[in-house]
Amino acid sequence: MSARRPTIGITTYGPSNPSEPSDLPMFSLPTGYVDSVVAAGGIPVLLGASALPAAEVLAALDGLVVAGGGDISPDVYGGARHETIYSVNPARDSFELRLVRAALERPELPLLGICRGMQVMNIALGGDLEPHLPDVVGEKVLHRLPPRLPTMHPVEIERSGLFAEIFPDRDLPVCSWHHQAVRKLGRGLRPTAHAPDGVIEAVVLEDRPFALGVQWHPEMQALQDRRQLRVFEALVARAKHT
């Protein structure tokens, strides 16, 4: 009998707020997350925001991906409001923060934060965010196209530790789709990749076997670029040992 594929939880967008009486509240997720986990050998399990105890949710999983999406409310981390902040969802903020904090109590559980997910990790560890990057670093490097569209830019990856194992190249073209980023780093997080303008593009939690975040969107490239699939493969490989 072949070994069981590990179950990888992926947080979802929502719950949505219906604009029409005939609409239903919905959770949703771009297919790239599911496709990437499947391609890496895992079984994706979609996690909608709920009041369930986070520890019980995690007990059903071998690994966790905290997905991208809309902005985190600045109220969560004591940040400044900004006119560009969009798609704030308090239910999702609360659920994901509880989930990440509970995951950090299980050192053996592999954790990957993608874009917003990396920001959730940072906030869960006491960090905060820049509310709008162009106000701080300008627009020499575009982290998204106007009004809210993805774009590409390079990142430089450190040459030691877990990130060097996953990404053997120093320079990597990535799909970027954000206007906020880490400002103050959370406890124990170490930057492991930067954009040319100095924005932190990846972090790793030093005292965990596999707890890392990327500010870009590997799931949007993974099926076409094996270099991006490697982060999902590393997550699934680690999940097999939980």
pLDDT tens-digit series, residues 48-65: 999 999 999 999 999 999
Residues written for the chain: 242
Q: What is the pLDDT of residue 46?
A: 98
Instruction: Give the residue from 88, 84, 60, 63 showing the smallest Cα distance to 76.
Output: 88
Residue 189 host element (H or E): strand 189-194
The domain segmentation of the chain, as residue ranges, is 7-239
pLDDT reading at 242 higher than 80: no
pLDDT tens-digit series, residues 6-33: 999 999 999 998 877 778 999 999 999 9
Chain mean pLDDT for the chain: 95
State the pTM of this model. Answer: 0.96
Q: What is the pLDDT of residue 2?
A: 59
Q: What is the pLDDT of residue 52?
A: 96
Provide the annotated active-site residues. 115, 217, 219
pLDDT reading at 160 higher than 90: no
> How large is the average pLDDT for residues 96-111?
97
> How large is the average pLDDT for residues 133-157?
96
> How large is the average pLDDT for residues 82-107?
96
Q: What is the pLDDT of residue 1?
A: 47
- Which tokens hold the place of 177? 């789709």
- Which tokens hold the place of 167? 């990404």
Distances (CA, A) of 63 to 23, 57, 108, 213: 33, 11, 9, 14
First-last CA distance in the chain: 19
User: Exposed/middle/buried for 35, CB within 10 Å: 0-12, 13-18, 19+?
Assistant: middle
Q: In the CATH hierarchy, which fold is given to the domain comprising 7-239?
A: Rossmann fold (3.40.50)
Contact 100, 120 (CB under 8 A): yes
> How large is the average pLDDT for residues 151-176?
94
Distances (CA, A) of 69 to 138, 168, 178, 210: 23, 28, 9, 22
